[in-house]
Amino acid sequence: MQELDENPLTSLQDDVLDELGDERIADIAVLLDTDEAGARQMVGTTVAALSGEAESVATPHDAPLTGVATLGGFATGGLMAGLLAEEARPVADAVARRTGLAPGAVSRVVETVIPVVLAVLTKRAAGK
């Protein structure tokens, strides 16, 4: 029997960071003018904002992935991609306010992270 992760959000963040890989994390660090640790923190904050798990990152709308991190996964598709794309700006604005980083740079990071989140969720849904 498979053990359940006690903190699915941490697992989602870790999976997204793994999927991004060192090269894209380094690209995000350059974009944000920070180090790798700062880039990883930014990705974590973005995943938290997308999933609605970050109490300190309030978005103007319900977070588009609320509750998804606690599910075993789901089939993603055009509808989910469209929903996440629509929420990219409010999430980027909320993350920029939380982190104090420039909204333009944060927006590019969010746009980079969204497809990776979708890929991770797709893999989870497929049981991979």
Per-position pLDDT tens, the chain of length 128: 344 445 566 688 999 999 999 999 999 999 999 999 999 999 998 888 887 654 444 444 444 444 443 333 344 445 555 666 677 788 888 888 888 888 889 988 988 888 888 888 888 878 75
User: What is the distance of C-alpha 30 from the center of its chain?
Assistant: 18
**Phi and psi torsions of 3, nearest 5°:** -75, 145
